[in-house]
Amino acid sequence: MGILEQIDEPEALRHLTPVQLTQLAAEIRGFLVENVSRTGGHLGPNLGVVELTIALHRVFRSPSDALIFDTGHQSYVHKLLTGRKDFSSLRCEGGLSGYPSRGESSHDIVENSHASTALSWADGIARACELAGSHRLPVAIIGDGAMTGGMSWEALNNIAEAQHRPLVIVLNDNGRSYAPTVGGMVRRFETVRRLDSLRVNRSYENFMERTKQALSEAGTPGKMAYGALHSLKRGVKDIFVDAGIFDSLGLKYVGPVDGHHMGELEDALRLARDYGGPVVVHAVTEKGRGYKPAESDDTDRFHAIGKIHPETGLPVQPARFGWTSVFAEEIDRLAHEREDIVGITAAMLRPVGLGPMSESFPERVCDVGIAEQHALTMAAGLAYEGFHPVVALYATFLNRAYDQLLMDVALHKAPVTLMLDRAGVTGDDGASHNGMWDLAMAAMIPGLRTAAPRDGQRLRELFAQAVNIADGPTLVRYPKGPLPAQLDAVREEEGFDVLVETSQKPVLTIVSVGPMAHCACEAGARMGEKGYGVRVVDPRWVLPVNENLAQLLANSPAVVVIEDGLVHGGVGAEILLALSRLGASTRVECLGLDRMFFSHAARADILERSKMSVEGICEVSQRLLDTQL
């Protein structure tokens, strides 16, 4: 029996010898490669935190101490050490979440997959513990990539204010988020990371020796008496050398520590645990460590993978040409034609498709780090000076920059184009990654024009139209995954495309938003086979509601609207409002996503339960027609 099989709770780790700990780390890496290669998931980040997570659970007492992972994609090892070893359905419905989940374990504190939040959570928990007189210790494990987000620095500003309040910050520094980490702040970490290793090790060893001696003389092992505290404060000065960022805030700093050396990690974490105030432990790790295909992948070190062959790291099925690839081609092509186009990304250069443009025009692509708020307001500044910024984000991360989109971009009528990848239901990554909020948010913003392409050709056309709009912001949203078949219109009207028409005077009009058009057309054809007159239309530009489309719908007895977004406040709700203003008596059914957080499940299953399958659309349409007729 392997060592990992015997670990059901972190307490079991504390009885292992150094040799057994090394063996455990190897077993965990083998387990991750074998299992994540079958399901897909975040492999590289977890291979890099094996020793760090073991050390955390040996030094701290979870769940009595609160371990907060930022972001949660580095929590697979934590799951294993807290008794969750069934990875057969990882990120599948009914299986383990790809992120921490309170529903899975009391060891999980924050269900976070959005970066830069852990320090604020830790500060809140630390303050609550102080007020309640609790000895619970918050420990925030934050990647260096997450330190590019503004919330991290807002939190540090407040954490540093209370030098007496115990809190541990573990900086997991692998020099990457998806891609290599960018920004002036994190470049300061490089100074420490690149110090002569012998000098660092000697400083560290001298520091540890003095501190242990002071503890012994004080007679209070396990507690930081005055002599030990004095030694710690002297020793920290010797070690951090150029940790000026933290030093300037008055935060104690220990490191850099080899994030794959269990002994060094445990010594540093114990010092931080016993200090009695806020301490930063700087652990230098390697993303993808121990798995050659990941270590050799310069793009993202196997940050997130689909199903792969574990021996080679090659995908089981070659990726089909996807939505992101179309955008990548188009922005690179247009950037060659127009010098005013500037690409902006938030730490996801290649995942959102800006890689080709960055190779063609590196000076015209800006990666701001995990700082969506800054990205939007910076784009407004670029637009003011005559450029046309294109901000490419995952749809779920637009939530973080809503105020900037509203007050900095829209209020100033800035010609900024937002390209929202992974819009609608993404499924496997769960509630925090479903890009289902964007249409409802967009509907509230004055002057924002929103497009939803139904296929790759329409994505090309709508993106080209968006960057030609000079009097306000535009938004183009498209889903995750491979492209559907091209779906041409039977005719084009001003403000919408007609995709299916079984009668010149239809009794049912189906309005499809974006890629929902394919299900809508099939459902429309089935209803037509039943003898109903049906028309299926695609508005292309879905918000604000086109006046010609509203007039068409006002003359239709029954309307079904289908959108891969929040049904409350989305496109359907705006169509209802437009019809009300026209005094129309049209009966309307809106199909979309309920106002709830969807657990991880396949996209198709979530859509089917929301009646957004062919069968569901036919069922709702039939019920509406039965009532109407």
Strand ranges of the sheet holding 558-566, from the earlier edge strand across to the other edge = 491-493, 496-501, 534-538, 508-512, 558-566, 587-593
Burial classification of residue 363, based on how many CB atoms lie within 10 Å of its CB (0-12 exposed, 13-18 middle, 19 or more buried): exposed
For 13, list phi and psi in degrees, rounded to 5: -70, -30
Name the burial class of residue 145, with classes exposed (0-12), middle (13-18) and buried (19+) by CB atoms within 10 angstroms of its CB.
buried
CB 243 within 8 A of CB 279: no
For residues 124 and 132, the answer to whether their CB atoms sit within 8 Å is: no
Q: Determine the angle formed by the axes of helices 262-275 and 18-39, rounding to 10 degrees.
A: 100
C-alpha separations of 553 from 348, 509, 520, 559 in Å: 40, 7, 16, 7
> 566 near 515, Cβ under 8 Å?
no
Q: Is 63 exposed, middle or buried (0-12, 13-18, 19+ CB in 10 A)?
A: middle
**311 is known as an active-site residue:** no
Alpha-helical regions (H) of 18-168: 18-39, 44-47, 50-59, 76-81, 118-132, 150-159
Catalytic residue among 84, 400, 535, 540: 400
- Determine the Cα–Cα distance for residues 531 and 185; give it in Å rounded to an integer: 66
How is residue 51 written in tokens? 């020793």
Our answer to whether residue 372 is catalytic in this structure is yes
Q: Quick check: 375 and 346 in contact, CB under 8 A?
A: yes
Strands (E), 174-323: 252-258, 278-284
Check if 595 is active-site. no
Q: What share of the chain is helix, strand, coil (3-state, %, to 5)?
A: 45, 15, 40
Report the relative pairing of strands 496-501 and 491-493 from DSSP bridges: antiparallel
Which residues does residue 252 pair with via DSSP β-bridges, in sequence order?
279
Q: Please, are residues 392 and 412 in contact by the beta-carbon 8 Å criterion?
A: no
First-last CA distance in the chain: 69
3-state secondary structure 527-578: HHHCCCCEEEEECCEEECCCHHHHHHHHCCCEEEEEEEEECCCCHHHHHHHH
Task: Pick the closest to residue 346 from 315, 385, 313, 372 (CA basis).
Answer: 372
Q: Which one of the listed residues 287, 454, 458, 540 is annotated catalytic?
A: 287
Catalytic residue among 372, 563, 574, 589: 372
Is-contact 252 7, C-beta < 8 A?
no
Active-site amino acid positions: 287, 372, 400
